[in-house]
Structure 1
Amino acid sequence: MTNSVSILGYFIRPLTVSDVTDDYLKWFDDDEVLRFLEINKTKNDVSSLKDLINYVKRFEVSNDYLFGIFDNSKHIGNITINHIDNDRGTFDMGYLIGNKDYWGKRAGEAGLVFGLRFAFEDLGLRKIFGGIYSKNLTARFLSKKIGFVEEARLKEKGYVDGELDDVIIYTMTRKQWKHLYSGKYDFKF
């Protein structure tokens, strides 16, 4: 993979410790940013720049991938590709737009489409599974727009805003990806 890929006006590249800043750290202290994510300060203990550096370094020695989404040189979000099962060809993916100025501006779409292309084409994986809380209407809408299929609903799987919520499992196969995205997005390497 090349260092940086451009899609929908955003640049996506592997995140490094040099990208760890106070602005990035603030994302982990913003309840609105973290509302629908499994990560939180208690579970990941990301409360200092050192913690965040360790979080980023963890991806350097694992089978998981962490990419940053950038508007020019401004770090605005992340994409993770994880829980890769090479034997079955499956993976999970998550995204976070930590800079709220970019909510609703296609940064999440750019990140997800990049992540799918990377996992299906570069890694040769065959199917993604992604869980989204039912109350996360924005992520559900974006997943359907991109072409994910609702495959399952796990009743009362987790908590959102202190209340039990269902997790909806969305999937897409490499075959679906190729059918949907052959030439649709202009990736600049």
Structure 2
Amino acid sequence: MFEDKIIKLRKLSPNDFNVYHNWRNDLDVMYSTSPALDVYTLEDTENLIQIMSGQPDAKGYIIEYKETGQAVGIISLIHIDTKNRSAECVIDIGEKDMWGKGIGKAALTMILRYAFDELNLHRVFLQVFSFNQRAINLYEKIGFKQEGQLRQALYRGGNWHDIIVMGILSAEYKQMASHTEPPIDSV
């Protein structure tokens, strides 16, 4: 659907359950993104992908690394509220060897452009665990602002952690994007 010099986003399909299943069951990957650390059966993951790829109030995409064509992550807009022009963004970079290569930033930039320019949303928000400082720094760099926190809502690693809610408004994104955003090719 969209691409830049690093990645391509393609629509999530029911056939993506195998690759997502590996990420979903990798506790290192899910530790900093999923509230429920669990082991899932292949059938559980297949059912989830079927639901995610068919939901009218969700837009799910596989992130492919252009250099190799490898699926490396997933990004979605979920709970799209057309009346209030709002959606939640979720992202996972499932291939650990691809962490720190700018893939998350590129995928977020594309999904925000799509959310604000194509879907005409007013607000996109996300949730991040308070110990995931690397993600918080990225979100702030893109223009997200902290809107609130769910105090001690997550028990992880023997400690309680906050879940931080961050959001970005269309005007904030457009102001930020006009200064920093490289062109994205629609495919």
TM-score w.r.t. structure 2 length? 0.89
Given the superposition, is the C-alpha separation of residues 16 and 109 from structure 1 closer, same or farther in structure 2, using an over 3 Å criterion? same
Quote the residue 2:85 is aligned against: 89
- Are 2:27 and 2:37, in contact at CA under 8 Å, matched by a contact in 1? no
Distance verdict in 2 for CA 1:40–1:47, change over 3 Å: farther
- Alignment check: 8 A CA contact 1:12 1:111 kept: yes
**CA contact 1:28–1:40 (8 Å) conserved in 2:** no
SS at 2:185's partner residue?
coil
Aligned twin of 1:69: 63
Residues 151/39 of structure 1: CA separation in 2 closer, same or farther (3 Å cut): closer
Q: What SS is found at the alignment partner of 2:32?
A: coil
Separation in structure 2 between the aligned mates of residue 123 and residue 166 of structure 1, nearest angstrom: 31
Say whether residues 1:55 and 2:51 are aligned partners: no
Name the SS of the counterpart of 2:131 in structure 1: coil
Identity %: 26
Q: Residues of 1 paired with 2:123 and 2:40: CA distance?
A: 30
Give, in whole Å, the separation in 2 of the partners of 1:30 and 1:167.
Answer: 21
Alignment of 1:119-134 (within 5 A): 119-134=115-130
3-state SS, counterpart of residue 78 of structure 1: strand
Does the Cα contact within 8 Å between 2:6 and 2:65 map onto a contact in 1? yes
Q: Could you tell me how far 1:61 is from its partner in structure 2? A: 2.9
- CA-CA distance at 1:163 after TM superposition: 1.9
Q: Which runs of 5+ in 2 are unaligned?
A: none
Match of 2:168 in 1: 172
- The CA distance in 2 between the partners of 1:80 and 1:162, in whole Å, is 30
Match of 1:7 among 4, 15, 32: 4
Measure how far apart 1:27 and its partner are. 1.1
Q: Secondary structure at the match of 2:34?
A: coil
Residue 150 of structure 1: which of 146, 152, 164 is its match? 146
What is the deviation of 1:7? 2.2
For residue 52 of structure 1, what is the amino acid of its counterpart? Answer: T
Query: Offset of 1:180 from its aligned partner?
Result: 0.9
After TM superposition, the score normalised by the length of structure 1 is 0.88
Please report the RMSD computed on the Cα atoms of aligned residues, expressed in angstroms.
1.8
